[in-house]
Chain A
Amino acid sequence: EAQVTQNPRYLITVTGKKLTVTCSQNMNHEYMSWYRQDPGLGLRQIYYSMNVEVTDKGDVPEGYKVSRKEKRNFPLILESPSPNQTSLYFCASSPVGAYEQYFGPGTRLTVT
């Protein structure tokens, strides 16, 4: 089944404790992206990647890192999480030039 998977789905952590949210797609898509969803703000892009080893900042990259060492994986790294990073995070992928993006199920992160 073609899909985008994210792990974990739910995470509660404390301020300053490094964490990684994984994202993997099995559709051989070149493009991958991370969004955060907050009430009243909709979805905002954090980082995106056009292909392996090619990443770029989105609208709200502060406090996040990404890497793209393999085509199928695009992990989101929070080196020192803070409470304002409490949010619902979505990973998405698509072929280059395609209109539709395929979204993962989301990761709900709470930083206390």
Chain B
Amino acid sequence: GDSVTQMEGPVTLSEEAFLTINCTYTATGYPSLFWYVQYPGEGLQLLLKATKADDKGSNKGFEATYRKETTSFHLEKGSVQVSDSAVYFCALRSSRNSGNTPLVFGKGTRLSVIA
């Protein structure tokens, strides 16, 4: 079945450091790919998405590019802030079915940014 693998955390960075959180996936066809963020005590929020190969999703300084050849969707940010401290989830939605197929999530990566 479909699956998402993302790097184990926690990740601790100093403010203004460069961030990469790796995400690879296994799926048939052409899934849509997502990064969700969960701030402390809150539910998940969509951070960015990409729906086809070579698409780049971006939001709030974060970017991720849909790489079909490497089945990857790594999250990057050039300069992290303390307010970016959160848990980040990579997810995919299969293209096999119409309508709302379930999201398949990775296990999450906790990011802590220190001033």
Please state if A48 and B99 are interface contacts (CB–CB under 8 Å).
no
Query: Which residues in B have their C-beta under 8 angstroms from that of A41?
Result: 107
A43 to chain B, nearest CB (A): 4
For chain B, give the interface size range: 20 to 34
For chain A, give the interface size range: 20 to 34
| Residue among B32, B46, B89, B103 with most chain A CB within 10 A | B103
- Does A25 have its Cβ within 8 Å of any Cβ on chain B? no
Chain A, range 4-61, C-beta contacts under 8 Å to B: 4, 30-31, 33, 35, 40-45, 48, 50, 58-59
Please state if A90 and B103 are interface contacts (CB–CB under 8 Å).
no
Please state if B107 and A40 are interface contacts (CB–CB under 8 Å).
yes
Residues 37-51 of B, flagged 1 when their CB comes within 8 A of A and 0 if not, give 000011111100101
Ordered nearest first, which 5 A-B pairs have the shortest CB separation? A103-B43, A42-B107, A31-B100, A43-B105, A103-B44
Chain A, range 84-112, C-beta contacts under 8 Å to B: 90, 92, 94, 96-101, 103-106
Bound-state CA distance A41–B3 (Å) is 12
Nearest A residue to B108 via CB reads A42
Query: Which residues in A have their C-beta under 8 angstroms from that of B98?
Result: 97
Bound-state CA distance A58–B1 (Å) is 13
Chain B, range 65-115, C-beta contacts under 8 Å to A: 89, 93, 98-100, 102-103, 105-108
